Structure 1
Amino acid sequence: MYCMISSAKFRFSLLTLVLLAGCVNLPKDEFTHYGDGPPRNPPDLSNIVDPVPKFEPLAKTGNKPYRVNGVDYKVLATADNYEAVGHASWYGTKFHGRRTSSGEPYDIYKMTAAHKSLPLPSYVEVTNLKNNKRVIVRVNDRGPFIDNREIDLSYAAAFRLGMLQSGTAPVRVRALTPVENPTTINTRLNPPQHSSQYLQVGVFNEVENAQALQQKLKSLMNLPIVIASEAELNNKHRVVVGPFDNEAMLHRINGLLEFHGIIGYPTRLN
Structure 2
Amino acid sequence: MIEWRQRLPGAAVVALVATLLLAGCASGPSPDRAATRDAVPRDEPYSSRGNPDSYSVLGKRYTVLASNTGFRERGLASWYGNKFHGRLTSSGEPYDMYKMTAAHKSLRLPTYVRVTNLDNGKSVVVRVNDRGPFVDGRIIDLSYAAAHKIEMTGKGTVPVEIEVVGPDDTRTATRNSASSGNRSGRAMPNARWGENVFVQVGAFRDADNAEEIGARLRRAGLSTVSQSAGGWTRVRVGPLASADEFDAVRERLRQLGFHETTMVVKK
The normalised TM-score by structure 2 is 0.52
Match of 2:104 among 92, 111, 115: 115
* 2:100 partner letter: M
Give distance in 1, aligned partners of 2:135 and 2:34: 29
- Is 2:147 the partner of 1:158? yes
CA displacement, residues 181-201 of structure 1 (integer Å, 9 cap, x when unaligned): 9xxxxxxxxxxxxxxxxxxxx
Structure 2: gaps (5+ residues): 1-17, 19-23, 171-267
Give distance in 2, aligned partners of 1:68 and 1:55: 30
Match of 2:56 among 44, 64, 67: 67
Q: Which residue of 2 is the match for residue 101 of structure 1?
A: 90
CA displacement, residues 217-266 of structure 1 (integer Å, 9 cap, x when unaligned): xxxxxxxxxxxxxxxxxxxxxxxxxxxxxxxxxxxxxxxxxxxxxxxxxx
SS of residue matched to 2:167: coil
Alpha-carbon distance, 1:37 to partner: 3.8
Give distance in 1, aligned partners of 2:29 and 2:64: 37
Match of 1:172 among 144, 161, 165: 161
Q: Which residue of 1 is the match for residue 137 of structure 2?
A: 148
- Structure number with bigger Rg: 1
Sequence identity of aligned pairs in percent? Answer: 55
SS of residue matched to 2:39: coil
Structure 1: gaps (5+ residues): 1-34, 182-270
Alpha-carbon distance, 1:89 to partner: 0.0
Match of 1:50 among 34, 38, 46: 38
Q: Which residue of 1 is the match for residue 249 of structure 2?
A: none
SS of residue matched to 2:43: coil
Alpha-carbon distance, 1:153 to partner: 0.3
Alpha-carbon distance, 1:152 to partner: 0.3
Q: Which residue of 2 is the match for residue 188 of structure 1?
A: none
Q: Is the 8 A contact 1:37 1:94 kept in 2?
A: no
Aligned residues: 147
SS of residue matched to 1:136: strand
The normalised TM-score by structure 1 is 0.52
Alpha-carbon distance, 1:90 to partner: 0.1
Give distance in 2, aligned partners of 1:40 and 1:95: 13
* 2:103 partner letter: A
Give distance in 2, aligned partners of 1:41 and 1:91: 11
Alpha-carbon distance, 1:40 to partner: 2.5
CA displacement, residues 38-90 of structure 1 (integer Å, 9 cap, x when unaligned): 45261415761011101110112120010001111111112110000000000
